[in-house]
Amino acid sequence: MSGDKCFDILNKIFEPKNPQRIEDIKGYSIKYGNIVENQNIIDEVLVSYFKSPKSYTTEDMCEINSHGGNVIVKRILELCLKNGATLASPGEFTKRAFLNGRIDLLQAESVIDIINAKSQKEADAGMKQLEGFLSQKIKEIKQDILDVMVNIEVSIDYPEYDVEEVTYNEISKMLEKVEKKLKTLEKSFDSGKILKEGIKTAIIGKPNAGKSSLLNAILKENRAIVTEYEGTTRDTIEEFVNINGIPLKLIDTAGIRKSSDEVEKIGIEKSLKIAKEAQLIIAIFDSTKELSNEDIKILELIKDKKSIIILNKIDLKPIIDEKNPQLKQFSNSIIKISALKNIGIEELYDEITKLFGLNEINLDNEVIITNVRQKDLITKAIQELEKTKETIKNKMSIDIISIFIKNILEDLASITGESVSEDIIDEIFSKFCLGK
Interacting residues toward ligand GDP by CB under 6 A: 205, 207-213, 256, 259-260, 265, 312-313, 315-316, 338-340
Q: Which helix (H) or strand (E) holds 45?
A: strand 40-50
Which of residues 155 and 212 has its CB atom nearest to ligand GDP in the complex? Answer: 212
Q: Which residues contact 42 (CB under 8 A, 6 or more apart)?
A: 34, 35, 36, 72, 75, 76, 79
Q: How far is the CB of 253 from ligand GDP (least distance, A)?
A: 11
- Measured from the CB atom, is 58 or 213 closer to ligand GDP? 213
CB nearer ligand GDP, residue 88 or residue 291: 291
Q: Which residues pair with 62 in a beta bridge?
A: 49
CA 283 – CA 291 distance, rounded (Å): 13
Considering the complex, what minimum distance in angstroms separates the CB of residue 269 from ligand GDP? 16
CB 42 within 8 A of CB 61: no
Residue 360 to residue 377: CA distance in whole angstroms: 25
* Nearest CB to ligand GDP, comparing residues 193 and 258: 258
Q: Give the nearest distance from C-beta 229 to ligand GDP in angstroms.
A: 21
Does residue 199 contact residue 281 with C-beta atoms inside 8 Å? no
**What one-character DSSP code corresponds to residue 156?**
H
DSSP secondary structure string for all residues of 160-223: TS--HHHHHHHHHHHHHHHHHHHHHHHHHHHHHHHHHH-EEEEEEESTTSSHHHHHHHHHHHTG
Question: Smallest distance from the beta carbon of 91 to ligand GDP, in angstroms?
Answer: 44
CB atoms within 10 A of CB 380: 17
Long-range Cβ pairs for the range 85-90 (8 Å, 24+)? 85/1, 85/5, 85/6, 85/9, 88/2, 88/434, 88/435, 89/429, 89/430, 89/434, 90/429, 90/430, 90/431, 90/432, 90/433, 90/434, 90/436
Of 107 and 338, CB closest to ligand GDP: 338
Q: How far is the CB of 263 from ligand GDP (least distance, A)?
A: 12
Smallest Cα–Cα separation from 331: which of 352, 346, 314? 352
Question: Measured from the CB atom, is 213 or 307 closer to ligand GDP?
Answer: 213
Nearer to ligand GDP, 209 or 309 (CB): 209
Q: At what angle do helices 92-99 and 422-430 cross, to 10 degrees?
A: 140
Q: How many residues does the chain have?
A: 436
Least CB distance to ligand GDP at residue 222 (A): 17
- Smallest gap from Cβ 216 to ligand GDP, in A, equals 8
CB-nearer residue toward ligand GDP: 107 or 213: 213
Residue 44 C-beta: closest distance to ligand GDP, Å: 55
